[in-house]
Structure 1
Amino acid sequence: MIIERAYVSGVSPGEGEWPWFLPCVRGLVADGLRFTAPVTYLVGENGSGKSTLVEALAEGFGLDSWGGSHDWRHASHRPRSVLGERIRFDAAPRGRRMLGSWSARKGFFLRAETALNALDREGFAPESVSHGEGFLAAFRGKFLHPGLYVMDEPEAALSFSSCLELLGHVDQLVRSGGQVVCATHSPLLTALPGADIIEVGDHGMRRVAWGELALVDHWRRYLADPRSYLRHILD
């Protein structure tokens, strides 16, 4: 493990502006977020705040909020988010060494909407490959060393078989000492054995078993009978 707990420093729980009113952020302020496995998935509906959380975690670790590796801190010249500025970590010994020395820090922040720009900046020439192949190039070339790897909906550009390949990369990464935090809508990715799944929503944050996830239930029922869903939205 690299980080064992994330929490927020210097915030009054009464602050009412974004992102402090999000239930998951209120939970982070009140109780922090403990990491109990090398792979943590954050799942939830659009607007629940899971992307806000993973971006802040990446920023708190020193990764550029626009995406990229530890070597490209603030390469996008975007200011850090108000939440990212206040994220703090309780870290394992390896994580404390990384947080205490920039040269020792390793990691990558992969966000779906800016992944190809980040890869181009790091010399992957994504114009020569498809969107999905560009994502896989990052996994093959950047997800290698013990460190913190943060992903925001990586399945957006990936086929079913490419998602399976991603799971293989994640498994090898954590076996070598890496840690992964991923926001996702994918029932395939969240099925990784041993992963910790945290559901984000109006309730804040809670740990849920894969088989109890709403997204898994919806996919099962949709694939079994698409018309039971489509009749509500199609004329």
Structure 2
Amino acid sequence: MIVERAYAHVAAHDEDEWPWSVPCVRQLMGEGLRFTAPVTFLVGENGSGKSTLVEALAEGFGLDSWGGSHDWRYATQRGKSVLGERVRFDAAPRGRRMLGSRAARKGFFLRAETALDALDREGFAPDSVSHGEGFLAAFRGKFLQPGLYVMDEPEAALSFSSCLELLGHLDQLTKRGGQVVCATHSPLLTALPGADIVEVGEHGLRRVEWRDLALVDHWRRYLADPGSYLRHVLE
């Protein structure tokens, strides 16, 4: 493990304003988020705050908020978010060394919006491969060393078989000492054995077993009977 707990302290804020009004952010400030497994999945509806949370975690670890690794930055002048600049970590011994020295820090923040830039940095022409292949190129080329790897909905550009390949990469990465925090809507990814699943919503943050996830239940029922859902959205 690299980090064991993330938390944020804010001296003065208005709880009615974003992002402090988001339930998962309030819980991060009040209780923090503990990491109990090498892979943590954050799941929840759009607008639940999971992307806000993973971006802040990446920023708190020193990774570029627009995506990138420990050894390069995107061509952006964006500063840290108001939440990201306040995130702190309780770290495991190896994580303390990384947080104490930028030279020792290892990791990567992968955002769906910047996959082509990541691919270009890997030495490929952006138009030479598909969007999904670009994602996989980043996994193969950058998800290698022990460190903290943060992802925001990596399944967005991946097929079913590519998602399975990603799981294989994550398994090998954690066996080499890496730690992963991933926001996702994918029932396939969240089925990774041994992963910790945290559901994000109006309740804040809570741990859930894969079989009890709402997204798993919805996909299971939709695949069994698409019409039971479609009749509510199609005229």
Shared fold (TM-score, shorter chain, > 0.5): yes
Matches within 5 A, 1:1-235: 1-12=1-12, 14-73=14-73, 75-235=75-235
Structure 1 gaps of 5+ residues are none
CA distance 1:105–1:75, change in 2 (3 Å): farther
Moved more, 117-126 or 49-58: 117-126
Once the 2 structures are TM-superposed, how far is the Cα of residue 10 of structure 1 from its aligned partner?
3.1
Distance 1:144 1:91 in 2: 20
Cα deviation digits, residues 17-66 of structure 1 (max 9, x gap)? 21000000000010000000000000000000000000000000010011
Once the 2 structures are TM-superposed, how far is the Cα of residue 15 of structure 1 from its aligned partner?
3.6
Structure 2 gaps of 5+ residues are none
Cα deviation digits, residues 156-195 of structure 1 (max 9, x gap)? 0000000000000000000000000000000000000000
Q: TM-score, normalised by structure 1?
A: 0.97
Asked whether the 8 Å contact 2:60–2:84 carries over to 1, the reply is: yes
Q: TM-score, normalised by structure 2?
A: 0.97
Once the 2 structures are TM-superposed, how far is the Cα of residue 114 of structure 1 from its aligned partner?
1.4
Asked whether the 8 Å contact 2:68–2:109 carries over to 1, the reply is: yes
Asked whether the 8 Å contact 1:62–1:73 carries over to 2, the reply is: no
Distance 2:94 2:79 in 1: 28
Distance 1:23 1:124 in 2: 40
Once the 2 structures are TM-superposed, how far is the Cα of residue 14 of structure 1 from its aligned partner?
4.7
Distance 1:170 1:34 in 2: 20
The two structures, once aligned, show a CA RMSD in angstroms of 1.2
Asked whether the 8 Å contact 1:68–1:108 carries over to 2, the reply is: yes
Once the 2 structures are TM-superposed, how far is the Cα of residue 120 of structure 1 from its aligned partner?
1.7
Q: Percent identity?
A: 83
Asked whether the 8 Å contact 2:122–2:137 carries over to 1, the reply is: no
Asked whether the 8 Å contact 2:48–2:201 carries over to 1, the reply is: yes
Asked whether the 8 Å contact 2:70–2:107 carries over to 1, the reply is: yes
Distance 1:179 1:125 in 2: 29
Which letter maps to 2:192? L
